[in-house]
Chains A and B, each alone.
Chain A
Amino acid sequence: MSPVPDNSSSVTREQVIETYLKVLRLIDERVAPLLGKATTRVLVQVAAKHVIDQYPFLHFLMKMPYTEVVPSVIREQLSGVSAQELEIGLDALLQQCFSGLQELTGDLIAPPLHDEVSRQLEQWH
């Protein structure tokens, strides 16, 4: 899914995280009417637990709901992490979220939403 643009070196950490936060908000918008408002937030936190070994810089997503991530948190938690590393980590987290969603509802929500998210990611990049 990772739509790492050709000119990735020019993308900032803030831009990467803002893009993925938008993706998560989109997922939340689609999932909340079907599985409740808390589900996406919890899916993200559990997904962060799964990828933490490989991407330890994402531990803040395990500790706090993604809805509470603000620029100061990004600056504080992600200093020293390149935009590319961040994007790879967040993409892995996104895949875990979809895998969780698949676990809950099978093919009802995950596949069409995955397609929509991929399209949006490409647009935003």
Chain B
Amino acid sequence: MQTEPNLTLTDSTRRFSTVTNGDRIGSLLQEMEYLNTIGKSFVAANNRFQVHHALLAALQEQYSFAACSILLKDNPFQLSIIPCYPLSQEFINAMIARIASAANVIDFPHVMAQELADAAYLDAPEQPVPPPAMETVGGSEIGSCLNIPLTVEDRIIGMLSLFDTQIGTFDTERLKLTTLIADYAAIALENVRLRESERALWRQAEGERQRLALIISSMAEGLLITDARGAITSLNQSAQNLLSQAQVDLKQDIPLRTLAASSDVPWLGQLSEIVDRALANQVVMNQELIAGKQGESVPLTLSISAAPLHNAGEAQKRPTGVVAVLNDITSHKQIERLKDEFVSVVSHELRTPLTSIKGYTQHLVRRLERRMRTAKQSPTAQTGATQVPATQEPPEHYDLRSLYIVQSQAEHLERLVNDLLDLSRVQWGHLELHPTTFYLADLLAESVHSIQVSAEQHSITLDIKVQDTKIVADRQRISQVVGNILDNAIKYSPHGGQVTVSLQEQDGDYLVSISDQGIGISPEYLDHIFERFYRVRNTASHQYSGIGLGLYVARAIVERHGGSIWFSNNPGLGSTFFFTLPHALETEEGA
């Protein structure tokens, strides 16, 4: 009996406790369901307008008010005003003034109400609510106002403002509830901002990727990228063109060394070796690789530089691939070859007259020595010694002939050197003339004489058909022109023959023609004969001697004098070169 009341008391207490717990759990469940609903609506928002609508819906579920606004601290700031029902412009202006004022107390960049008014975006609610009374719609008075900082991780990102026409709409409980909802809104807005920022970054990265792809595809240099195994993953168009001679599909996800082992393309092995060296963390610089076909005079030659590729911050680790740059250096090789050829030809051309000069000079020296020895022995002879018979020494005119040849070859050498020196002057238009007055017939005679001495197989005749041959021109240059053409006439008449130099008048100018009985000029050479370094080839010996500058310089000199130069094949044999010269060189002032 004693226990009964106690039991009753205990049950009662337990019942009371159970009811209280049940209420509490129910209330908690309700609260959690509510928060869950709000959370879902904010999470589903994809843009800030959807966040605004979710916010408005959540707030309107709790209490009624006239409008809310969201000011975001972006640069520039963004202000969205969402009226719950139509509001007068005066009311909206008053809202903006209050927003500006409140924004300035939570460390927003100082902002004037007018700036906010200009930037404000008036968003429309998805479901407008009816105004509490028609007369309040047109009112300008703000009855209640609440400004809540929007905070994410202790950082204020914006401000939520609520307005009502009635006084006392907001109390502390509503403030707590609104702050709770504002926290959700702040996170949702931050997520939207991050997503927008992410999308912008992706767009930017994609733009950069496309730009890079365009640059790589437009590069004149070939670009080759491999993976960590040495298999080619990327080749730009230039690289594809350069490596096309391999006739192997290089992009088949097979390491280059494997491809090289099964291919008979010799340079593929070299390329694979370069890639392997880069994969071993070496930087390979300007490695030459001949990728052309065998037998070509200057085959396709590549210069390859390769470097290992590493992930950012992992320079010490194994490379993730290789990037190689391929440069076509075939033209450099061609230039090198031409340069070597040129040096060889020039050396040969200079040596030929030098050999002649040296030979004749030595011959003359020996003869002079012998003569001096004879002169010394003469007194002895007078005292009874044996005298050298006069018939053992060639006559004096032999010496003179030797000296003529030396002079002729020296002049030939001089013309060669002058042609070489004039090459760059002609190219840059800096060929200077030093005009003097002389007789063209005399100059032609001297040239004929000089060259005839060294051309015994040929007979050079001079035919002057003009009485007065006085001319104002650069004597040395004109001599260079005549000498160059005469040299060619002799050179391209390998079996000797007649060479005729004639001078006549034509249209008030002097016309000089030099005709030979040589090989003539084949039609395929006609357009190139005056080009620099152009030399006529001969099927037997492949090439005639000469550096290919004589006619190039001759044309420049003649044209600089105001004349012209041309040639024609003779009807029977050989060819004739013509050039005209005005009687007097036109000076700059005269022109």
Residue numbers of A with Cβ under 8 A of B are 33-39, 42-43, 45-46, 99-100, 103-106, 108-109
Contact = CB atoms under 8 A, between A and B. Distances in A.
Contacts of B156: 36, 38-39, 42
Contacts of B102: 103-104
Say what secondary structure dominates the interface of chain B: mixed
Nearest to B186: A36
Contacts of A36: 148-149, 151, 156, 179, 183
Contact of B147 (A33, A38, A104): A104
Contacts of B179: 33-36
Given A100-B106, A104-B106, A35 B101 contact: no
B151 A106 contact: no
Which 4 pairs between the two chains have the least Cβ-Cβ distance? A100-B105, A36-B151, A104-B147, A38-B154
B175 interface: yes
Contacts of B175: 34, 105, 108-109
A106 B148 CA distance: 11
Interface in B485-542: none
Contacts of A109: 172, 175
Given A106-B144, A108-B171, A38 B105 contact: no
24 contacts: A35-B148, A36-B148, A36-B149, A36-B151, A36-B156, A37-B151, A38-B151, A39-B149, A39-B156, A42-B149, A42-B156, A43-B105, A45-B107, A46-B104, A46-B105, A46-B106, A103-B102, A104-B102, A104-B146, A105-B148, A105-B170, A108-B171, A109-B172, A109-B175
Interface string B271-309: 000000000000000000000000000000000000000
B430 interface: no
Contacts, number: 67
Contact of A37 (B101, B154, B176): B154
Contacts of B172: 34, 108-109
Nearest to B172: A108
B406 to A, nearest CB: 97
Interface string B130-165: 000000000000001111110100111000000000
Contacts of B147: 103-105
Given A38-B155, A108-B171, A109-B175, 15 more contacts: A33-B176, A35-B148, A35-B179, A36-B156, A36-B183, A37-B151, A38-B149, A38-B151, A38-B156, A39-B149, A46-B104, A103-B101, A103-B102, A104-B147, A105-B175
Contacts of A103: 101-102, 105, 147
A42 B107 contact: yes
Contact of A104 (B148, B151, B155, B171): B148
A43 B146 CA distance: 16
A39 B160 CA distance: 13
A35 B101 CA distance: 17
